[in-house]
Amino acid sequence: MRNNSFDLIRHFAALMVLVSHHFALWGQEEPGIAGYNSLGGMAVIAFFAISGLLITHSFLNARNFADYLAKRVARIFPALIACAFVMTFVAGGIFAQGYITGPSALIDFLRISLFGRAAIDEITEGFIFSESFNGSLWTLKIEFAFYILVAGALSLFRRAMMPAALLMMFCIATYVLGNSTPSALTQKLAVYGCAGIAFFTGSLGAFCTRVFCSTRRRLTILAACAGLMVAVAGTPLTGVVSTLCMALATLSLGLSYVDHTIRGRFDISYGLYLYAFPVQQLVINKTSLAFIPSMLVSALIVMVLASVSWRWIEKPALQWARRRNGARVAEVPKAS
């Protein structure tokens, strides 16, 4: 999967999340499509759709489950652990007096590193949004669970029918949850269900890339998605159908243009996603900057942190995983 612009879309989506969250962290309503999702929520759908497509290709091309899992662990955990360290021991040491000298910092560091809730009350006390220091990290545990689920499913049956069945399951579950009696649990599960719809739409797309093979087909898909989203707006089908349409539109756009600017050179989208929320929290609540200046300053700081994360943590971890895979291939004796 080289002829695409998915890296470019992921960077744009990460910045969309930053912009959307900046409204929420200022105590304002996030921009988005009324009755469906926020700007940040739609960006997350794009992330999951792209991830579903690329991760499924990764599994199909992997020598075995161990090599596949090593790449996934190398992509997620080193940068997450580094971010957890910065959040707890660096930010905590600067903005929460006495925090890092007690047991709370270590406990929080371990919890965040293992997909736990990223709440550090000692830092966020008195913040406009005090519920979490890094509210973006909830998606990572869901995404990693999908990595395991798609690999397990395709290990049993390596055909398009498997992601299609999982996609149908998530569509039904999301429809039921989205139209049941509202509660905090059903709303959370419905959000997880939408992520599943996006991921397994991408996973199914990995088996059906010929559907996107021509410009005419891609334009038809984009037009159909736009029309369907308008048609189901305000109906019980909004959550399911609009998420499907957003995922399909993301895949169509990504396969419509070959990016030569970012692809293969760098990928700071994950770092942008990891660091944006806590940096915005601190800039908004610890400085006197107005809305737009605080957003611009936050974006600049986040880009620097994301670049450092890519250069010194993510890229070396991925190179290690590739070397490990190459070494395992070299160890396999050739048939005489």
**pLDDT one-digit tens code per residue, 89-125:** 999 999 999 999 999 999 999 999 999 999 999 999 9
**Exposed, middle or buried, 297 (CB in 10 Å: 0-12/13-18/19+)?**
middle
Identify whether 334 is part of a domain.
no
Identify whether 285 is part of a domain.
yes
Identify whether 58 is part of a domain.
yes
Residue 304 has pLDDT above 80, yes or no: yes
d(CA 302, CA 280): 9
Nearest alpha-carbon partner for 195 in 179, 225, 171: 171
Averaged pLDDT, 138-142: 96
Residue 15: band (very low, low, confident or very high) from pLDDT cuts 50, 70, 90: very high
Structural domain that includes position 203: 6-258+266-328
3-state SS class at 32:
strand
Identify whether 44 is part of a domain.
yes
Residue 322: band (very low, low, confident or very high) from pLDDT cuts 50, 70, 90: confident
Segment 36-41 long-range contacts (CB within 8 Å, at least 24 positions apart)? 36/229, 36/233, 36/238, 36/239, 36/242, 37/194, 37/242, 40/16, 41/191
Percent of the chain with pLDDT over 90: 85
d(CA 222, CA 206): 18
Q: 325: which 2 tokens?
A: 């895979």
d(CA 84, CA 68): 24
Averaged pLDDT, 191-199: 97
Which positions ≥6 away from 109 have C-beta within 8 Å?
84, 85, 87, 88, 89
Cα 263 to Cα 76, 150, 212, 319: the distances in Å are 19, 25, 20, 16
Contact 45, 246 (CB under 8 A): yes
Element (H, E) at 302: helix 291-309
Query: Tokens 């400085």 map to which residue?
Result: 287
Identify whether 236 is part of a domain.
yes
* pLDDT score, position 335: 38
* pLDDT score, position 22: 98
Averaged pLDDT, 50-68: 95
Cα 285 to Cα 27, 95, 127, 290, 291: the distances in Å are 11, 11, 6, 11, 11
d(CA 106, CA 24): 29
d(CA 326, CA 243): 38
* pLDDT score, position 83: 98
Contact 8, 259 (CB under 8 A): yes
* pLDDT score, position 336: 31
Position with higher pLDDT, 2 vs 122: 122
Concatenating the DSSP letter of every residue in 122-186 gives HHHTT-SS-S-S-GGGHHHHHHHHHHHHHHHHHHH--STHHHHHHHHHHHHHHHHHHTS---HHH
Identify whether 1 is part of a domain.
no
Residue 327: band (very low, low, confident or very high) from pLDDT cuts 50, 70, 90: low
* pLDDT score, position 109: 98
The DSSP output letter for 120 is -
Structural domains in the chain (count): 1
Averaged pLDDT, 11-29: 97
Identify whether 301 is part of a domain.
yes
d(CA 138, CA 145): 12
The whole-model pTM stands at: 0.94
Residue 145: band (very low, low, confident or very high) from pLDDT cuts 50, 70, 90: very high
Averaged pLDDT, 313-328: 84
Torsion of CA 134, 138, 143, 144, to 10 degrees: 90
Torsion of CA 240, 242, 246, 248, to 10 degrees: 70
d(CA 211, CA 221): 9
Identify whether 333 is part of a domain.
no
3-state SS class at 334:
coil
Residue 328: band (very low, low, confident or very high) from pLDDT cuts 50, 70, 90: low
